[in-house]
Amino acid sequence: MTTLTKPGLRPANPNFSSGPCAKRPGWSVEALKAAALGRSHRAKIGKGKLEQAIELTREILKVPAGYRIGIVPASDTGAVEMALWSLLGERGVDMVAWESFGSGWVTDVVKQLKLADVRKFEAGYGVLPDLTQIDFDRDVVFTWNGTTSGVRVPNGDFIPADRKGLTICDATSAAFAQRLDFDKLDVVTFSWQKVLGGEGAHGMLILSPRAVERLETYKPAWPLPKIFRLTSGGKLIEGIFKGETINTPSMLCVEDYLDALQWAKSIGGLEALIARADANAAVLDRFVARSSWLGHLAVDPATRSNTSVCLSFTDPDVAALDADGQAAFAKGIVSTLDREGVAYDIGSYRDAPPGLRIWCGATVETSDLEALLPWLDWAFAMQKASLKAAA
């Protein structure tokens, strides 16, 4: 119920940002004390940690044995760009997008790579495009969980097992929170700072045997900068997938990722991570169901994210405002809660419809989300009162 009475209990951790996300429960800088600082990443100790990060990633995400896992530069964007620039152009490509990150990949392929044979399957914020129209004998690029609309694909059933093209999947806000169907995916990318609450900087690039085959049999017509190069003399550079990174990684970030992976393992691995995100999203879902002023941006419950939950205004007075008015209203709520130290970074993404985006990934404690709910109602009531006073 919305009320002008300020709630008492505050979330113990106000970090609800969709990236970088909250650190795992109990994290402190002590977790980094074994970092191989001041040591070469190519020394035994450094390479060992990078290898361990790859092995633990495989174990927790249940990545099939034949798939390569590499740590690459420039976060998730770096990993996606590497895949696009190294693999595309051999055949036509279907680009599938329903929010700003997916749209960014469309722009790259159309305007930067300038591929001749591109088909676009796009949908606005809140819905998926018609996935039945995709031709998987072509290459396909899509985002598993659209972070800025809170719309995800429900599963990999729309992808045929016997496809001829490659599927390139940006899974950065899905990995470690949603079941990625690796048999249906040839390239999977993500970063460390999302569901595991790691540090920003490094990207993960996972390749199926078919993606490797493409790399070894097809050479793009355009030049590739060194940090994108996955092959040498027509052969995969296997070292990249054994901890021999292309360039220098941060051993501090690596230590932090190892800590996050070990935490993930200690709580029960992937199933436990998914269960935590699901339980968190369910808290918000119940709140939205009884709310008089907020609704899900994602229309179909089957496509609703359990990480980046995006909410828009259903209160008739607020919904009647134009986009700028609604954005100002959202900003009022976000800055009030920020000032109170109750919730940080919960505004919707700059290109998305105005509203709130609340991260529900595995590192967020359910009790913190529960504590946040009365504050949302309170901040709304405050903002609505000022809207009325200004009218």
Ligand X SMILES: Cc1ncc(COP(=O)(O)O)c(C=O)c1O
| Residues with Cβ within 8 Å of residue 41, at least 6 apart in sequence | 47, 50, 245, 248, 249, 251, 254
By CB under 6 A, name the one of 149, 173, 291, 305 that touches ligand X: 173
Q: Rule CB under 6 A: is residue 77 a binding residue for ligand X?
A: yes
| Size of the residue set binding ligand X (CB under 6 A) | 11
Min dist. Cβ of residue 174 to ligand X (A): 8
Q: Cα(first)–Cα(last) distance of the chain, in Å?
A: 23
Stretch that binds ligand X, among 41-49, 71-79, 250-258, 278-286 (CB under 6 A): 71-79
Cα 252 from Cα 257, distance rounded (Å): 9
Q: Rule CB under 6 A: is residue 101 a binding residue for ligand X?
A: yes
Nearer to ligand X, 203 or 374 (CB): 203
Nearer to ligand X, 172 or 280 (CB): 172
What is 184-225 written as a DSSP string?
G-SEEEEESSSTT---TTEEEEEE-HHHHHHHHH---SS---
Min dist. Cβ of residue 256 to ligand X (A): 15
By CB under 6 A, name the one of 2, 15, 143, 306 that touches ligand X: 143
Task: Write out the two tokens for 125.
Answer: 């914020």
Cα 370 from Cα 7, distance rounded (Å): 12
User: Strand order of the sheet with strand 93-97?
Assistant: 68-73, 202-207, 187-191, 167-170, 139-143, 93-97, 118-122
Min dist. Cβ of residue 3 to ligand X (A): 33
Site residues for ligand X, 234-273, by CB under 6 A, read none
Categorise residue 58: left if φ over 0, alpha if ψ from -120 to 50, beta otherwise.
alpha
Among candidate residues 105, 189, 110, 183, the one with its CA nearest the CA of residue 144: 189
Cα 267 from Cα 217, distance rounded (Å): 42
By CB under 6 A, name the one of 13, 17, 57, 75 that touches ligand X: 75
Q: How far is CA 107 from CA 82, 98, 102, 187, 264, in A?
A: 15, 13, 9, 19, 35
Min dist. Cβ of residue 358 to ligand X (A): 14
Cα 308 from Cα 174, distance rounded (Å): 9
Q: Rule CB under 6 A: is residue 191 a binding residue for ligand X?
A: yes
By CB under 6 A, name the one of 11, 19, 347, 374 that touches ligand X: 19
Site residues for ligand X, 306-365, by CB under 6 A, read none
Q: Report helix, strand or coil for 50.
A: helix
By CB under 6 A, name the one of 2, 57, 103, 147 that touches ligand X: 147
Q: CA triplet 299, 301, 302: central angle to 5 degrees? A: 115
Stretch that binds ligand X, among 5-13, 73-81, 107-115, 318-326 (CB under 6 A): 73-81
- Identity at 94, one-letter amino acid code: D
Binding-site string for ligand X from residue 31 to residue 70, where x marks contact by CB under 6 A and - marks none: ----------------------------------------
Stretch that binds ligand X, among 30-38, 170-178, 329-337, 383-391 (CB under 6 A): 170-178
Stretch that binds ligand X, among 149-157, 165-173, 286-294, 338-346 (CB under 6 A): 165-173
- Give me the residues that bind ligand X (CB under 6 A), please: 19, 75-77, 101, 143, 147, 170, 172-173, 191
